[in-house]
Amino acid sequence: MDKTLLIVDDEPEIVELLRLYLENEGYKIQEAYDGAQALDIITKNQNIDLVLVDLMMPNIDGFQLIKKLRNDFHLPIIILSAKSEDSDKILGLGLGADDYIPKPFNPLEVVARVRAQLRRSYIFNNAFHKEIKEKESTRVVVGDLQLDLDSFSIIIAGNPKALTKTEYKILELLMSSPGRVYTKQQIFEKVWNDYYLGGGEEDNTINVHISKIREKIEENPKLPKYLKTIRGLGYKFEKEV
């Protein structure tokens, strides 16, 4: 199962009982007898997957510990406490605990709650990493240039430059297929979403926007290395520079 749990309780008998049941389920167990010791273990051991914490403890109590953990770590927290008043439950959960089990408890229920919290954490982490990957995919990268599809900007060697809506749409089209030549008709119809009739006005509109883009992305706009003109055809974005 390869999951490590931290039991934080100032009653050794409870720690030993929980250890017995949880190790029987295949979990690795760390133990602490006050909040300060728990913080030290979690700070030094980044592999803690879940914390079981009592509320009434010396040095740093459970409430303080939960608050500190939520500021710096993302991991499931289950409260085990003889304080069964609704106000204590509301405060503990409000500070960031994920579950609350009153004492005395059934150890098998604790095992079941641990399983449930680890399962939720697994689902959440998978969703989080998926979101990060999707976020990463919102950038089109060619050479030293990154087109940020969220902020509508072009990032050049780490420095962002704002784009107009039209400039962004042209770059998105060209950078998404580097090396491909797009005719002026294709560019106009995809970017302006209108029919290309062919003529000076439409061609001039495209030329002006290409020129402005080059001023933003090229070291020397008159000798572009990224956005190339293909005479008689149109434009392309170089694959490699």
Does residue 116 share a domain with residue 90? yes
Does residue 224 share a domain with residue 164? yes
Letter for the amino acid at 195? Y
Residue-level pLDDT at 132: 45
What is the model's pTM?
Answer: 0.54
Q: Residue 121 is part of a domain; what is its CATH number?
A: 3.40.50.2300
- The residues of the chain scoring below 70 in pLDDT are 1, 46, 84, 122-138, 199, 240-241
Does residue 25 share a domain with residue 113? yes
Domain boundary among 130, 157, 183: 130
Domain boundary among 96, 130, 164: 130
Does residue 121 share a domain with residue 42? yes
Does residue 185 share a domain with residue 117? no
- Give the integer Cα–Cα distance in Å for 102 and 113: 12
Residue 52: give the domain boundaries. Answer: 4-130
Does residue 219 share a domain with residue 115? no
Tokens of 130: 């998926």
Does residue 232 share a domain with residue 150? yes
Residue-level pLDDT at 152: 75
Does residue 144 share a domain with residue 81? no
The strand pair at 77-81 and 234-237 is best described as unpaired
- Give the integer Cα–Cα distance in Å for 217 and 123: 41
Q: What is the DSSP letter of 33?
A: S
pLDDT digits (tens, 9 = 90+) for 115-154: 988 887 766 566 545 554 554 456 788 888 888 877 778 9
Q: Is 179 left (phi over 0), alpha (psi -120 to 50) or beta?
A: left
Residue-level pLDDT at 73: 78
Domain boundary among 110, 130, 150: 130
Number of domains in the chain: 2
Residue-level pLDDT at 125: 60
Residue-level pLDDT at 142: 84
